[in-house]
Amino acid sequence: MRPRLTVRARLTLLYTGLFLACGVALVAITYGLVAGMPYPTSGNTDPKPGSAEELKTMCHDYLTSPDEKLRTKCTMAYQEGLLAGAKDQRAATLDTLLRYSLLTLGGVTVFAAVAGWFVAGRVLRPVQQITAAARAASEHNLNARVALTGPRDELRELADTFDTMLARLQAAFDSQGRFIADAGHELRTPLTVMRTAVEVVLAKPEPTREELCEMGRDVQAAVAQTERLIAALLTLARNESGLTVREPVDLATVAEDAMDAAATNGVRRHALLDPAGTVGDPVLLERLIVNLVENAARYNVPDGELWVVTGADSRTARVTVANRGPVIPAEQIATLFEPFHRLGGRTADGGLGLGLTIVASIADMHAGTVVAHPRPDGGLTVTVSLPVR
């Protein structure tokens, strides 16, 4: 296979070729201008003298004789001699000009090629730094950065963009690693419960019917928790592939269906459902509101209340869910949307810690935003804003 030229070599050839073309054009223009200079003219068309002896005789006669005709002939011969000398001198000058111009152009072209090689290397040095950082980066080591200094030009912008991309990838891999670790821990919990329940009963020589029934109920509850966890994880995994269904949706109608489907454990519900049209997947949007309502019911005070409000303006369609509950410090609001995070610890409420994570994922799929604010008297207000249709 024929070897390929590097970018540095191609840039050097390009610099050299452009310089040579400009040099050739300059030499050609200079030569043409000099060659196009007008000859001196005698201003007369009388015949030339026949020989040098005749010219010498005529000039001698001119000096010794007052004859006007002889004087004119001698003047013409002198002018013709000047013209011939000018032609010879110009020919010699043009030949010398062309020869030295080409020699100078060749030497300067070689110098331009050498200078172009070094300049191309200096210009491409940031690209080499980016290449080295890309080679050093891997799934398990994304700490490499270009950190290019110097003027803020296109290469500096490219290097900064590459560093930003590496930072995003590092954050994504770290988040993915934490998610996998947390998911494995969460899945291990119900499996541990099932194994413990079975081992305790089987360790007895003759377990009673009540003990077997108790073991069955424990295993059933653990299996149900595992199913809910796997369903939530599958929902998050499907959300990563993007939105596949797009159709007009009224959040008021979806919220009404979601309130009927959500398990609120006797919490009093209040709804103010004004039309709020958007575009998206109605199944996912219903899951979003169900998660908000169930979260509001789970983290509530005894005999508490929750509110569901929908509405829209010229730019966004909104659904807001608020509840009564424990006072939440403002600095903990951001952590509520992290996977497997629960108020009061992992086992405080029996939830999976994925409700608001799924809400944020579905909202992001629909180009929307989620904002949460703590209520002064306890509880939380969560507002999801989506583009209007």
Residue 266, domain CATH: 3.30.565.10
* 333 plus 252 within the same structural domain: yes
* 226 plus 325 within the same structural domain: no
* 308 plus 326 within the same structural domain: yes
What secondary structure letter does DSSP report for 379? -
245, two tokens: 């269904």
For position 223, what pLDDT does the model report?
Answer: 86
147: in domain: no
- Torsion angle in degrees (nearest 10) through CA of 182, 186, 191, 194: 150
- Torsion angle in degrees (nearest 10) through CA of 373, 376, 378, 379: -20
* 230 plus 270 within the same structural domain: no
Report, in angstroms and rounded to the nearest whole number, the Rg of the chain calculated over CA atoms.
46
Last residue of a domain, one of 186, 214, 239: 239
357: in domain: yes
Mean pLDDT of the chain: 79
Residue by residue, DSSP assigns 178-223 as HHHHHHHHHHHHHHHHHHHHHHHHHTSSS--HHHHHHHHHHHHHHH
329: in domain: yes
207: in domain: yes
* 211 plus 268 within the same structural domain: no
* 303 plus 329 within the same structural domain: yes
* Band of pLDDT at residue 43, cut at 50, 70 and 90: very low
Residues of the domain holding 345: 247-387
6 CB-side CA count, 13 A:
9
On the 0-12 / 13-18 / 19+ scale of CB atoms within 10 A, 206 is exposed
* 224 plus 292 within the same structural domain: no
371 vs 330: CA distance, rounded Å: 12
For the chain, how many residues are written? 389
* Band of pLDDT at residue 98, cut at 50, 70 and 90: confident
* 234 plus 253 within the same structural domain: no
343 vs 186: CA distance, rounded Å: 16
87: in domain: yes
Which residue reads 């509405």 in tokens?
Answer: 311
* 85 plus 197 within the same structural domain: no
* Band of pLDDT at residue 45, cut at 50, 70 and 90: very low
* Band of pLDDT at residue 312, cut at 50, 70 and 90: very high
178, two tokens: 């934490």
Report the CATH number that the domain containing residue 190 is assigned in CATH.
1.10.287.130
* 97 plus 113 within the same structural domain: yes
254 vs 289: CA distance, rounded Å: 8
61 vs 221: CA distance, rounded Å: 141
Core vs surface per residue 83-110: b (16+ CB within 10 A) or e: eeeeeeeeeeeeeeebeebeeebeeebe
205: in domain: yes
For position 254, what pLDDT does the model report?
Answer: 92
pTM above 0.85, yes or no: no
For position 241, what pLDDT does the model report?
Answer: 65
Pairing, β 305-312 against β 277-280: unpaired
Core vs surface per residue 243-259: b (16+ CB within 10 A) or e: eeeeeebbbbbbbbebb
pLDDT digits (tens, 9 = 90+) for 330-352: 888 877 877 766 665 544 455 56
For position 346, what pLDDT does the model report?
Answer: 43
* 259 plus 234 within the same structural domain: no
348, two tokens: 């405080």
303: in domain: yes
181 vs 185: CA distance, rounded Å: 6
255: in domain: yes
For position 53, what pLDDT does the model report?
Answer: 54
Q: What percent of the chain has pLDDT over 70?
A: 81
Give φ, ψ of 388 to 5 degrees: -75, 155
* 198 plus 310 within the same structural domain: no
Which residue reads 């149900």 in tokens?
Answer: 224
Domain count for the chain, please give it.
3
Last residue of a domain, one of 220, 239, 258: 239
Residue 40: count of CB within 10 angstroms of its CB: 11
Among residues 91, 164, 117, 110, the alpha carbon closest in space to that of 12 is found at 117
For position 185, what pLDDT does the model report?
Answer: 65
